[in-house]
A and B are shown apart, each in its own frame.
Chain A
Amino acid sequence: MAKPETVQGRRSAMALGTAVFVALIVLDAIEFVVAQVAGQLLLWMTLLAIPQAALILWFYMHIRQLWREEAH
């Protein structure tokens, strides 16, 4: 993660948040569309839900902090 306490660091953190958000929305939309057209939905839905959960866990919840020391 970028250095804290700097304007630059804050900007890039916010930009990262927005990028993740866009990815989430896109995945969710794909999920919704696939559900209208495809079969075998349990498989597809799982495959599409896992990356969404992973994005949130990794970028929004900073799960890395559990095993990696960081300043904050």
Chain B
Amino acid sequence: MDLLRFATAGSVDDGKSTLIGRLLLDSKAIFEDQLEAVEQTSMARGYDYTDLALLTDGLRSEREQGITIDVAYRYFATPRRKFIIADTPGHVQYTRNMVTGASTANLGLVLVDARQGLTEHSRRHAVILSLLRVPHLVLAVNKMDLVGYDEAVYEQIQADFQSFATKLTIPDLTVIPISALKGDNVVTRSTNMPWYEGPSLLHHLEHVHVASDRDLVDTRFPVQYVVRPKSDDFHDYRGYAGRVAGGVLKPGDEVLVLPSGFTTTIEAIDNFDQEVAEAFPPMSVTVRLADDLDVSRGDMICRPHNAPKPSQDIDAMVCWMGTAPLRPRQKLAIKHTTRAGRTMVKDVQYRLDVNTLHRDQETKELALNEIGRVQLRTTVPLLCDPYSKNRTTGSFVLIDEATGVTVGAGMILSAD
């Protein structure tokens, strides 16, 4: 059984909570006591039906306001797969929430209301998923029951979306007509829409192929922690622990260590008390090298003819999450893989309007929840790749040095 992480997006009332509630309920991830609590609340509030959306309302402040303000994680499993849903609210703080949810997702699920068709919101959700390079996208056309299960409605929305999507990077798109409330095409294929020949939503989630989304060619191993037991049994043991970010590592491989530039070979790869023949993403392993080099946290193990170029000048798309705007000359802390340093904003090239994809070159700052192209100069060289090549070595966070708060999420375009 493997794992699929997906992020959901939709504007208020598109039926996202109903859909998630149904997936959880039908896969038996909802327990009786949780369902009872929700039934009681629904009754107390005088609703005609059990509001499945209540299952996912987490915090008291959210319940009081009747809105969802923060990303919530949900879990369910079928015999084929375990699923982690990052449920991202689409209205308040939507950029921050969507970026957070999409950053780790294999798949993005965007909901639209069949009666309304594509809205500014749905376009914006697709833009963010595309920016974050979520490899698979599902557009669920919901509330098909309210449009008489009409094929033409579905076709129109699909066509609209496809023409918009040509401006984006969406490697794999699937459009599914559903009714979250009635259950059509959610778990099983609907008999109300014989014209639709594709899979049900759950079937698609269970079968979408995600293993090949990982880069198994370009070896990247950011050193996270140096393991030195200093015990009698393991006197000379020196291992470099970390999580494989790209490629496949094998004992005997010739490797290059950055930033020092030394080459050596991999002596062995340990996974707890066992040696493994290969390590690939996203395994956490400990690598031992044949030569005694000075390797520490923040270094990167790669291959002699396939290595990122260390760089201090970074060109990136930044999603700004700080309350005060991002401005040129601003100084921030930066964390990239296992490296930490400081950085200065050299220039804000443009602000991207996520609704229209218009590049606004007039503004020289990014406000809360805005995304733009930014030039940075870092104090330490980053060992990075373009985000389009590797989501781990191509991403970074910006931290306010005074408050310690995470204020930016960055995706590297290029580095010189």
Partners in one complex: no
Residues of B with Cβ closer than 8 Å to A? none
